[in-house]
Amino acid sequence: MAAAPSRIRLDLNSPEFQDVFLTLQGDELRQAVTGLRRLRELDWNSLYRHTGFRWEAIEHLRAPNGARVYSLRLSQRIRAVAFREGDFLRLVSLHPDHDSAYEP
């Protein structure tokens, strides 16, 4: 019997992520939370295939564990920068201005 696909577990403990997340208000906050809820419902294979999150590698960045770092779209306006570590999606930063997710 094949093992069930592992669901994504979110790590929101990065101080840089929290600094921005805790300042979001109104519609931006609702959009970010909705995106995070959608992520929690997925397994890893589904995230890799999902076109709505626009999961994109950021070639010039590496995670502390050497893993690739990715940008993903939580809403039309908000992107997050994250990396995978086991079953965890470790969210490093949050970018309401979208383009800043790609800056070094």
Answer whether residue 3 is part of any domain: no
The amino acid at 59: E
Residue 74 DSSP label = S
The boundaries of the domain holding residue 28 are 9-98
- 10-57 tens-digit pLDDT: 999 999 999 999 999 999 999 999 999 999 999 999 998 888 999 899
Contact, 4 vs 44, CB < 8 A?
A: no
Please count the structural domains in the chain.
1
Per-residue buried b or exposed e for 19-40, using 16+ beta carbons within 10 Å of the residue's own CB = ebbeebeeebeebbeebbeebe
Nearest residue to 35 via CA among 103, 96, 104, 101: 96
Tokens for 70?
């990715």
pLDDT at 1 over 80: no
pLDDT at 99: 56
d(CA 40, CA 42): 6
For residue 104, tell me if it sits in a domain.
no
pTM for the model stands at: 0.84
Half-sphere exposure of 72 (CA within 13 A, CB side): 24
68 within some domain: yes
CATH number of the domain bearing residue 59 = 3.30.2310.20
Phi, psi of 12 (to 5 degrees): -105, 25
Residue 95, beta-bridge partner list: 79
The verdict on residue 2 lying in a domain is no
